[in-house]
Structures are given as C-alpha cells and as structure tokens.
Amino acid sequence: MYLKKYTEILRRLKNNPIINPTDEDMARMCPHLTKEEVVNAFRNGIFGAFDSTYVACPSLRVRGAFQIVCFEKANGNQPAKLRWAFTGRIGYGPEYPHTAEALKFAEDNWGKHLIDNTWLEVAEVRIMDPTDLVYGELYPGGVPKTVMTVIAVMNKRSEKMSFDHSRPRNELFDETIIEMSVDPLISEELKSGRGPYTYYFCGFCGSGFEPSYCSGCDNGFEGGYFEDRASRMALPPKLVEFARQNGHIFRKDPKIALEKELKGFRENKYYYWRK
C-alpha cells in the first residue's frame, strides 16, 4: 500500500467515522495486519473502556509515532462506529495493540519518507484574516478569522532565541524550522504529545498583530485579543512560501512586513527586542 493512498484512507476516517463498519472496513484501516487479526483486535479486544477498543496503525510522517483507530461497539440506541482517535509515540504514554507491527509496516513500506523526532519545540502558527471577523460571547466586537493553521517543529527553543539579539526574530525563527504541515493527521504526529506555543500572523500582509489592529495593513478589530498573544514579528519566509503552496493568497506582499521589521531592528535593536 502506498503512503498517499493510506493517508487518504485515514483522512476520510477522521472526517467521517464509519457507522456499523464491516470487517472489510476495519481491514482497510490496518494494512499491517491480516483480516483475522484486525477483526479480532477490534471486535474482541479488551484494551479500552466504555465498550471501545483501540488499535495502533502505521505512522504517516514521524518515525516512532503511530496513528490510533477506535472501534466503538453498539450500545443501546447507538450503532457501532469506527473512527480515528489520536496519535501516539513510543516512550510517551501506553503502547496500543499491534504497535510493533504498525511501526514495522511504516518502516518497510515508506521508511524513506519518515523523519526522526529530533526537534526541541513545536509551534502552532495561526494565519488570520483581520478583514473577516468572527463574533462570539467573549469577543462581541469580533476577532480575525483563522484561515490556516500550520504546525512547525523547530531545532531550537523559543526562550533561547529570545536571548539572541543578532538578527530580527523572523530570521531566527525561520532558520530553526525543520518541518511544517497543515494536514491534521501529520500535525498530530509532529506535535507528538507536546503542547505547542501559538503564534498569530496577519493573513492580509504577513505582519504580527498589535492588540487591536495589524500594523502592516491597518485593519483593526476588537482590542485586547492579542494583548498577550501578539507575535511581534513578521511571518518568517519559509512560512510565507509554505502558506502560498497550500493555497493562501496574501493581498499585500509579506516582503513589506519583513523589510519593516529589518528596518526597525537596524534602527534600534534593543528597543526592538524590548517590545
């Protein structure tokens, strides 16, 4: 089975759980097992709670990680359901049934596409549109709508970068990026149980937000939302290119925001870093 095909199978399961799955449905999710092993694991397994069983399935991108599929048995008026559950990784939390087989299958079939988990930090990058506001109880005046969420893993911790005053923040951030993804399944593998630090950027121009407006395109919104969340740097070049490759269109060239940040750093780098 090819990686692309299997990724699509799991993605469909994540978006649409299968009601009253057949044995064939279960086997399709577990190419690392025989049909008999799959059916026995899901229908007769005891690993789980509330009439649910879990089985480890092959990783899509990260070596040592595994996807987890859950079978919920019929209960009262509720039909049986096969659904994607979450991801796991070796050495973090429990090992699920058939973990060893899942790891071996991924290595044997698409090992050249797998990467080792060597990163030190995970960032959740939210690209938001200040011209399209979302309204809610906490922010009745509206907050920018998230148009893309990127998970990026880095080989340097943010606190270490904060003490490096040699270059603008976006350059330091940019060079530490190892891998990025917008795919929910791969993003979960990249996070590997870590809680990511969230960064917020303007999807109109690529600038970082001030508490109530974007300084790069002057689009405003309700004050206070970014009081403690402002990224205070322009969107790093790798992320700009990655967002474009995944279909996002900036209405103002992000290079302008990058140049503005560089200018501010050159004029007074100490003030720039205290902001």
Digit-coded pLDDT (tens) for 159-207: 888 888 888 989 999 999 999 999 999 999 999 777 788 899 999 999 9
The pLDDT of 214-219, averaged and rounded, is 91
State pTM to two decimals: 0.89
Quote the CA–CA distance of 209 and 126 in Å, as a whole number.
11
Which one has a higher pLDDT value, 90 or 225? 90
Residue 46 has pLDDT above 60, yes or no: no
CA distance 129 to 126: 10
> How much is the average pLDDT of 26-38?
95
What's the angle, vertex CA 194, arms to CA 192 and CA 195, rounded to 5?
140
The rounded percent of the chain whose pLDDT value lies above 70 is 92
**What Rg, from alpha-carbon coordinates, does the chain have?**
22
Confidence bin at 216 (pLDDT 50/70/90): very high
Look at 60-69, 76-85, 214-223 and tell me which has the smallest mean pLDDT: 214-223
